[in-house]
């Protein structure tokens, strides 16, 4: 019994020593931090000042977005569905989709917008390269854009940036695509099917204009693709009609041609072919970013943390020696 009591007392003394050692270490750490307080304050102040300077020098970025709804597939949808069960094999030979599956047109349009080819054509057709790659500041008074003189000479409309091969003074479409992909966002809601297209830029007017152009161009692009496909299908079907004398087959081919004609007519009379604009893009009055207060706070906290860590590392290195 006495042996067990003595073991219990020894264990209690050992635990109390551990607690005492932990308290001493914690006090020692606070003491080290307190002794290095001036270094911590100095480093934190430097980070705070740099954060303020960085936040102030960052230009305002404005965001414009449009809310879109998928357009209804009205171009002969019922007729094509009725024909799909009977004549799907023949239609597939002509490259005709009779509604038996495939990629959703809305999802395809979204992927087309994100593609390199569409982006390159969009930038070139609207002459967006200077505003995309060389814009430096937006002037509120006259609603003009100032360009980086080291990159682009606005008076002569000439690129003057100095780069190493294989790059050239004028940015390539690959470079422009990388930059454009960072300022554009396309989000589709799974529940409602609504699509949001947004663009960020130094100029709120430019951001709004680009969103409107994107919506117009993607509608035209998808319309042209469907019309071209329907015309090719009609040519194929007309060729097949000339090559057969069977009345039933000719009747089927005429029905398929009729559906393709409906598709073309529908596309020609409808401007909002893939997306209908529910809430159009507007010129933003308030900036989207940067959040300058948050930048200053995060920069100051990071400086304080780094300074404290530096003081502790210096203490432990000296203690190890």
What is the Cα–Cα distance from 184 to 46, expressed in whole angstroms? 35
Same-domain pairing of 15 and 116? no
- Indicate yes or no: pTM above 0.95: no
Query: Which residues 6+ apart lie within 8 Å of 169 measured at CB?
Result: 159, 160, 161, 162, 163
77 and 52: one domain? no
pLDDT averaged over consecutive 10-residue blocks of the chain (321 residues)? Answer: 50 49 66 86 92 90 94 51 48 49 77 94 94 91 89 91 89 94 91 91 94 94 88 83 79 82 80 90 90 91 92 82 66
In a domain, 176, yes or no: yes
Radius of gyration of the chain (CA): 33
Which domain does 262 fall in, by range? 62-279
In a domain, 79, yes or no: yes
Q: Tell me, yes or no, whether 285 lies in a domain.
A: no
Residue 286 belongs to a domain: no
Q: How many whole angstroms separate alpha carbon 311 and alpha carbon 305?
A: 10
User: Do 133 and 262 share a domain, yes or no?
Assistant: yes
Task: Output the pLDDT for position 79.
Answer: 44
**What are the distances in angstroms from CA 127 to CA 60, 116, 124, 201?**
23, 16, 5, 15
Q: In this structure, are 80 and 37 located in the same domain? A: no
Same domain, 125 and 274: yes
Residues 156 and 218 in one domain: yes
Q: Is residue 284 part of a domain?
A: no
Same domain, 142 and 266: yes
Look at the chain and report how many structural domains it folds into: 2
Whether residue 216 lies inside any domain: the answer is yes
Query: pLDDT value at position 103?
Result: 61
Within-domain flag for 140: yes
Same domain, 13 and 66: no
User: Residues 299, 203: one domain?
Assistant: no
How far is residue 154 from each of residues 36, 76, 232, measured CA to CA in Å?
A: 53, 50, 45
Q: What share of the chain is helix, strand, coil (3-state, %, to 5)?
A: 65, 15, 25
Based on the domain organization, do 54 and 66 belong to the same domain?
no
Inside any domain, residue 275: yes
Statement to judge: residues 162 and 258 lie in one domain: yes
Alpha helix ranges (H) inside 36-76? 37-57
For helices 292-320 and 37-57, what crossing angle results, to 10°? 150
| Claim to verify: residue 21 and residue 69 sit in the same structural domain | no
């Amino acid at each position: 019994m006495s042996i067990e009591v003595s073991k219990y007392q020894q264990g209690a003394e050992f635990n109390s020593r551990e607690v005492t050692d932990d308290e001493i270490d914690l006090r020692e750490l606070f003491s080290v931090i307190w002794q290095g307080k001036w270094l911590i304050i100095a480093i934190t102040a430097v980070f705070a000042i740099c954060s303020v300077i960085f936040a102030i020098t960052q230009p305002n970025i404005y965001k414009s977005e449009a809310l879109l709804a998928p357009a209804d597939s009205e171009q002969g949808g019922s007729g094509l569905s009725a024909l799909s069960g009977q004549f799907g094999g023949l239609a597939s030979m002509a490259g005709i989709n009779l509604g038996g599956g495939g990629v959703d047109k809305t999802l395809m349009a979204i992927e087309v917008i994100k593609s390199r080819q569409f982006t390159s054509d969009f930038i070139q057709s609207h002459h967006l390269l200077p505003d995309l790659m060389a814009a430096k500041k937006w002037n509120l008074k006259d609603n003009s854009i100032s360009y980086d003189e080291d990159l682009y000479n606005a008076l002569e409309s000439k690129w003057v940036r100095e780069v190493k091969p294989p790059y050239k003074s004028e940015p390539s479409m690959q470079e422009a695509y990388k930059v454009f992909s960072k300022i554009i966002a396309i989000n589709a809601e799974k529940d409602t099917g609504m699509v949001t297209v947004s663009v960020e830029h130094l100029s709120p007017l430019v951001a709004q204009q680009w969103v409107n152009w994107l919506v117009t161009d993607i509608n035209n692009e998808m319309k042209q693709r469907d019309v071209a496909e329907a015309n090719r299908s009609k040519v194929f079907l007309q060729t097949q009609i000339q090559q057969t004398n069977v009345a039933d087959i000719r009747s089927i081919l005429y029905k398929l041609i009729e559906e393709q004609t409906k598709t073309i007519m529908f596309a020609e009379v409808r401007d909002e072919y893939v997306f209908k604009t529910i809430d159009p893009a507007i010129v933003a009055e308030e900036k989207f970013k940067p959040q300058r207060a948050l930048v200053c706070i995060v920069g100051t906290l990071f400086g304080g943390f780094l300074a404290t860590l530096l003081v502790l590392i210096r203490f432990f290195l000296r203690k190890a020696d």
